[in-house]
Structures are given as C-alpha cells and as structure tokens.
Amino acid sequence: MVNVIWHGHACFSIEGSINVLIDPFIGKNPVAKIKPESLNPDIILITHGHFDHTGDAIAISKNSKAPVLASFELSEILKNEVETMDINPGGTIDFKGIKITAVNAVHSSSYNGLYAGASMGYIIDMDGIKIYHAGDTAYFKDMELIGNISKPDTSLLPIGGHYTMDIDGSIKALKMLKSKTVIPMHYNTFPAIGANPEEFKNKVEKAGFKPLIPEVEEVINL
C-alpha cells in the first residue's frame, strides 16, 4: 500500500517502501500545518526552481540526509549546500528499488534569479503503483504520451490557473492521462490561484474519473 499525504500547494509525501517528498514548500506556505523539520524523507524531488517548490528542500535535506533530485541546472546550483542528484526529462533513476522518471512540463524555472533548467513533472513507480506529479504546467498534447506510455494510476494536477492550468485545463489533461484517480494541487494557497474543489470534483466525475480531494495533512491510501 502507498500513502499520499498532501502538505498543501504542490507538496506531497508519497510513503510506501520508501518515503518520497515532492516540492516541500512548507515554512512560508500559508496553508501548511506542519513544521518542515517533522519530515524525514529518503529523497526529495523538486519539479522546478521557483520558491513555492524548492521551499524548505535545503533544510529538510540537511536534517534528513535525503538527497535532492532536480534538473541538471538546479542541482548544479544546490550541490554546494546539499547532496543532489540530477535528471532531465526522459530520464529514469532507480532509487532504493523505486523508479522515478522525469517528464516535461510547460512552465518556466529559475532559482533566486538564476536559470534553473527544465521545469518537469515526475512519475513515481513504487510498490506497484504509478503516481504522476505534473509539477507546474499548462495542459499539453504530450500528456497523451505520458498516459499511453507511463499509464499512471493517480495524477496530481495543478488546478489553480494563472501560473498553471486551471480546472478546465486539468480535465483536458486528465482525459489524455487516463489515470483512474486524480488529486488536485496548486490552488487556494494565494489569491491568484483560487479554485473551487467542488467544481473540480463535479467535472472529474462527469468525465468518468475518480477525484480524491484531501484536506492538508489528510492521509490517502492508494
């Protein structure tokens, strides 16, 4: 069994045979309910360099000794401070028996004003379950390839608009990804990315998929 815990915004723990932490924006996240130092991941995945995704990655990595997986360029920036692993879209790593694949996202990426390489999503293949974290992205036609080739069981999709796709965009994405279940993210953290999860739920159900809409820190069993 794999547990998914939403820490708010785009930050999730995926806990099975290992503990994967993605985009740990917690300390400055207005909707977060935990302290970053309470997390003890085996690996930290960063989708891109923006502050609301890199967040507390350095502090958590130093505490937990978990390496940070990021684009080649972002890992070059972070490697003086923490142990990093680099990847780019199309690449797959095997980490303690878990397969992690980086895929495209349509977005930008910088870190403290420095170019931070590609903006990415990740497919985490753990304990027989495939989870797609889309990162910050617009919907794009190649999500159909991600659906056909990676066949994610669950997709974590941004719905807040403004910097990413909105609810209607996420439904278009879901129809290409064809994952049975979907969890919304990247909404209602700031006023610019307001979205109604009830509207998302209704539209996902109408499209024939299963929405899972966690509260912050609720544990979802997949």
66, 216, 217 from 213: Cα distances, Å: 28, 10, 11
Whole-angstrom Cα distance, residue 15 to residue 134?
18
| Environment class of 221 (CB within 10 Å of its CB; exposed 0-12, middle 13-18, buried 19+) | exposed
Q: Is 9 in the site for Ni ion (CB under 5 A)?
A: no
Residue 166 contact among Ni ion, Mn ion, none, beta carbon within 5 to 8 Å by kind:
none
∠ Cα 208 214 218 (to 5°) = 145
Phi, psi of 195, rounded to the nearest 5 degrees: -155, 150
The residue (of 10 and 126) whose beta carbon lies closer to Mn ion is: 10
| Pattern 117-136, Ni ion, x by CB under 5 A | -------------------x
Please give the structure tokens belonging to residue 21.
Answer: 């932490």
Distance of CA 199 to the CA centre of its chain: 21
The residue (of 48 and 130) whose beta carbon lies closer to Ni ion is: 48
Identify the H or E element spanning 172: helix 167-177
Residue 146, classed as helix, strand or coil, is helix
Q: Is 166 in the site for Ni ion (CB under 5 A)?
A: no
Residue 160 CB, nearest approach to Mn ion (Å): 9
Of 59-118, binders to Ni ion (CB under 5 A) are none
Residue 138 CB, nearest approach to Ni ion (Å): 11
The residue (of 36 and 158) whose beta carbon lies closer to Mn ion is: 158
Whole-angstrom Cα distance, residue 73 to residue 131?
25
Residue 23 CB, nearest approach to Ni ion (Å): 9
| Binding residues vs Mn ion (CB under 5 A) | 52, 136
**Helix count (H) and strand count (E) of the chain?**
6, 16
The residue (of 136 and 166) whose beta carbon lies closer to Mn ion is: 136
Residue 133 contact among Mn ion, Ni ion, none, beta carbon within 5 to 8 Å by kind:
none
Q: Is 50 in the site for Ni ion (CB under 5 A)?
A: yes
Residue 118 CB, nearest approach to Ni ion (Å): 12
Q: Is 15 in the site for Ni ion (CB under 5 A)?
A: no
The residue (of 193 and 204) whose beta carbon lies closer to Ni ion is: 193
Residue 125 contact among Ni ion, Mn ion, none, beta carbon within 5 to 8 Å by kind:
none
Identify the H or E element spanning 25: none
Residues that bind Ni ion (CB under 5 A): 50, 136
